[in-house]
Structure 1
Amino acid sequence: MEDIIYEEYEVLEISKEEESYKLNAVTKKVITEISLKIIVNEEELVSLLCLNQRQEELALGFLYSEGVINSFADVEEISYNERMLAVIVTLKEGILVNRQESLRSITSGCGKCFTYINPLKQNQYSIVETNTIYSVKTILDMMKVFMKKSKIFKDIGGVHSVLFYTPDYQVLNEDIGRHNCFDKITGILLKDGQLDLALNSVVYVSGRISSEIMTKIVRLGTPVLVSRSTPTSAAVRLAKQYNVTLLGYVRGDRGFVYTCPERLEI
């Protein structure tokens, strides 16, 4: 069955004619939101509020970002149960979920919002190392292209978008939560066997960069993160700590470089 990403509602549209306002009956598309369960080894691990799309990839990316798995090979079986709104995952023997992490419900607005990487899993987060130099002009030009690519946003609204970019491989994803976009892209890379491409990639995002987003970038190993909006101070600290080049407020031919400018070529 095709994933339903919007519903239609009868609404009243406000319009102005000369000096008076009118209310006109119209049909409006409204983005859907589901509560997706991730069940790992027969136990419910988390519930994510997300767009009803790419459910398995979201689960895979989330498990990778959280340090539960290190590759797609760690997964014995994965399936989406539409009736339960659940992704059911069986891990390979010997791979366990740390039960010190309690069951959580993560909102579409980055409700988890931790500031620091879990000390118990710091060994899974490495300093980002690459010798690649990135052209500022290319980054700015690609941001302009990226901002025109968000089809769901243009048709319906209510979503964020993230682009994973290398010259030969690109993935664009949209979701009601920025963190879901990142996890879905990670899940796609895991499924496609392309995770190594992250080491020389640039990731573009339409919204704010929180510490949660930065931990996902560090875990993925992406050296350059570019946002149309602002980073938080915690995100900047993490970028400095893990050697990520962070650009914010990139709009048109302007922007700010917050960390690691040595990767950039003017």
Structure 2
Amino acid sequence: MRRRSSSPESAAVAATGPDSPKDFPAVRQTAVEVCGGIEGAPGQDLVAEEVPVAMVYNGVSHAVMMASPCDLEDFALGFSLTEGVLDRPDQLFQLDVVMVEDGISIEMHIAGECFARLRKQRRNMTGRTGCGLCGTESLAHAVRAIPRVPIHTVPGDELVQQALRNLRNHQPLQKQTGATHGAAWCDNQGRIELAREDVGRHNALDKLIGARTREFGDTAFDDGFALISSRASFEMVHKSASVGIRCLVAVSAATALAVREAGKAGMTLIGFARPGRHVIYNRGDDQPSEECEDE
């Protein structure tokens, strides 16, 4: 797979426009006026960049997502897997990340059977930071069938708490701007092995999934759990289950639909992960209910 892409180094602060995706900064400086206590005091602030990123498959644009312009190769692969464009990473033959007039284009060459299925779906969605379903054609397509994840051991309370305590240390963009979400992969000892950030919570998870899959392939999610800095919506549960993530831990709440879908998938779902306390909505080690079906 040939690549030309941005990297984590693109998170450097810049004040001028980029000439290539690699130069596109994820953080920028901007002049601000500080109010409260000091009248009209001028200052500088760091803000998270947000740029349109087009997912283009075999020359056809499929989706435009608003995203942080870093780790875009990870984003493209993770998105392609969690949205069902690809069944396996080896179905992505080539990937180029290029500057275009209005943003960044990720141009991918994928297997013919995947592209034929994509054309059949006739989906052309515009993604936004807070929504993962924009452009879905019908209500029937809104909640897709969720696959079951393998039987697993629920991580102990102390392991969840340990990972949570260390999450901020893996969120440099959040520390700088206060405007990005994080998604981290934690091992069976509660240690954070890898993390990705983005202005969009779905994007951060896709980046994490893409990064792990690129490095470890089919065994990427065999051991450990995912930790996200956002709420656990059903879309986050679906994305996790689609690649075999057994346990999803969220800093904020889970939605009712997310809880139901996690139950169908046999996934452990934990929310409100705060220092000294978290809530287990669903235990994947419990026996599946009769309504759960394997795909």
Calculate the TM-score normalised by the size of structure 2: 0.80
8 Å CA contact 2:205, 2:228 repeated in 1 = no
SS across alignment from 2:86? coil
- How big is the shift at 1:233? 0.6
Q: Give the structure 2 partner of residue 173 of structure 1.
A: 196
Q: Which residue of 2 aligns with 1:30?
A: 47
Query: Hey, what's the Cα distance between the residues in 1 that align with 2:268 and 2:33?
Result: 45
Map 1:35-74 to 2 at 5 A. 35-74=52-91
Q: Is 1:200 equivalent to 2:223 in the alignment?
A: yes
Task: Report the Cα distance in structure 2 between the residues aligned to 1:9 and 1:79, rounded to whole angstroms.
Answer: 30
Which residue of the partner structure matches residue 254 of structure 1? 277
* Correspondence 1:86 to 2:109: no
Equivalents in 2 of 1:256, 1:213: separation in Å? 17
Amino acid at match of 1:52: P
Q: Count residues with an aligned counterpart.
A: 257
Question: What SS does the corresponding residue of 1:87 show, helix, strand or coil?
Answer: strand
Name which of structure 1's ranges 233-242 and 3-12 shifts more when overlaid on structure 2: 3-12
What residue identity is the alignment partner of 1:14?
C
CA displacement at 1:227 relative to structure 2? 1.0
Contiguous gaps of at least 5 residues in structure 1: none
Change (3 A) 1:183 1:256: same
Paired residue type of 1:4: P
Q: Describe the SS at the equivalent of 2:232.
A: coil
Return closer, same or farther for 1:111/1:43 CA change in 2, 3 Å cut-off: same
Q: Which runs of 5+ in 2 are unaligned?
A: 1-21, 287-295
Task: Name the one with the larger strand percent.
Answer: 1
Match of 1:147?
168
Paired amino acid for 1:200: D
Q: 1:194 to 1:166 in 2, by over 3 A?
A: farther
Shift of 1:82: 2.0
Aligned equivalents of 2:224, 2:248: Cα separation in 1: 9
Distance 2:122 2:112 in 1: 20
Counterpart of 1:224 in structure 2: which amino acid? C
Mapped partners of 1:256, 1:186: distance in 2: 24
> Does the 8 Å contact 1:132/1:200 carry over to 2?
no
**1:8-45, Cα deviation, whole Å (9 max, x unpaired):** 211101231xxxx5221001111111110111011101
Counterpart residue identity of residue 81, structure 1: V
Distance in 2 (CA, whole Å) between partners of 1:261 and 1:184 is 24
Q: Note closer, same or farther for the CA distance 1:43–1:199 as it changes in structure 2 (3 Å cut).
A: same
Q: Paired residue for 1:132?
A: 153
**Range moving further from structure 2, 238-247 or 98-107:** 98-107
The DSSP-based 3-state class of the residue aligned with 2:70 is coil
1:177-234: CA deviation from partner (whole Å, max 9, x where unpaired): 1100111111112322334231322111111111111100110211111111001111
CA distance in 2, matches of 1:159, 1:118: 29
Q: Which moved more, 1:133-142 or 1:34-43?
A: 133-142
CA RMSD of aligned residues (A): 2.4
Counterpart residue identity of residue 89, structure 1: M
Identity %: 20
